[in-house]
Structure 1
Amino acid sequence: MPEWNIPYDFMLCEKTDCPRAAACLRHIAYMRELETETILRIINPRKLPADDSGDCAFFRDATPVTYAFGFKKMQGRMFPAQYVAFKNILMARYGRNPFFERRKGAFPLSPKEQAWIKRAARRAGAEAEFEFDSYEERYHWMD
């Protein structure tokens, strides 16, 4: 099970009668924070659905997702010209330093970002299956 490092600015939901509360990361985090914190950042209850349909714009699935770290190993699986093209695509999107931080695994890459990086490798002509250096299960707090 991943660690519960709830970000400070993550909005919590206090609606206990919601049919999706047991699977909602915002509500589960609320229940945990209720026991330990003095001040909570909650979603305005008046902005939550009044009915019990479970159709909520604030719902966030509590199922952990796989985050990736780094892609140094991939350089050895590409031809030099492919890697240069790949690096240029990523540098155009992220900039120089953020590219190198991502490459060395300085911070986690969300599933959405992983997919974008894999597409960039295919656009650069890489034919090998793209694998990141390591993976970790985490809660998906932010987009």
Structure 2
Amino acid sequence: MPKRFYTSIPTNYPACEHKDCPMAAICLHQTVYTTMLENEEYIHLINPHRCSKNETCSYYRDNKPITYTRGFTNFQKQMFPEQYQRFMSILIETFGRNPYFERRRGETALSPKEQDIVLRALKRAGVTKELKFDNYEENLNWYD
């Protein structure tokens, strides 16, 4: 578990009390339950009757960190102006104007799903070479 785990639990993150679940050791919802019991006044629980207590549980979240990216300011320098305009238009249509610029500057970390959206927008804009994001970081995937 990363060192930042205990300080990075999102506010009101739902916990699971099923420590007997075969997925409990690697599920974020169950892992936070123990921490929250020790540190929190109130705990938001997932309804125990809604958990399937196996690998098909819809609440299961793997506790392994995944790669998030931040920023893609260098993309513009490596694209033709028409490509960049198309790329930017696609992403503004997807995320909205301000959220697009927050993601571009690196203020918002991009999940693997959002990275895929950005990479597909590059292809739709006609970019054929592989472009790299500004920064890469390992984080826990709390919600996806």
Give the TM-score, by structure 2 length: 0.91
Contact 2:71 2:104 in 1 (8 A): yes
The aligned amino acid for 1:128 is: K
Q: Counterpart of 2:75 in 1: which secondary structure?
A: helix
Show the counterpart of 2:15. 12
Label 1:126 to 1:53 Cα distance change in 2 as closer, same or farther (>3 A). Answer: closer
Give the count of matched residue pairs. 141
The aligned amino acid for 1:100 is: F
Aligned pairs (5 A) from 1:31-110: 31-49=34-52, 53-110=54-111
Q: CA deviation at 1:77?
A: 1.2
Q: Counterpart of 1:136 in 2: which secondary structure?
A: strand
Show the counterpart of 2:128. 127
Give the TM-score, by structure 1 length: 0.91
Show CA shifts across 1:32-77 (max 9, x none).
Answer: 212111111111112223xx64432211111111111010011111
Contact 2:23 2:54 in 1 (8 A): no
Q: Counterpart of 1:88 in 2: which secondary structure?
A: helix
Label 1:140 to 1:21 Cα distance change in 2 as closer, same or farther (>3 A). Answer: same
Q: Structure 2 regions of 5+ residues with no counterpart?
A: none
CA distance in 1, matches of 2:35, 2:123: 42
The aligned amino acid for 2:80 is: F
Contact 1:18 1:54 in 2 (8 A): no
Q: Which runs of 4+ in 1 moved over 3 A?
A: 52-55
Contact 1:78 1:128 in 2 (8 A): no
Identity %: 45
Q: Counterpart of 2:67 in 1: which secondary structure?
A: strand
Q: Structure 1 regions of 5+ residues with no counterpart?
A: none
Show CA shifts across 1:20-40 (max 9, x none).
Answer: 100111111111212111111
Moved more, 38-47 or 110-119: 38-47
Show the counterpart of 2:30. 27
CA distance in 1, matches of 2:3, 2:95: 28
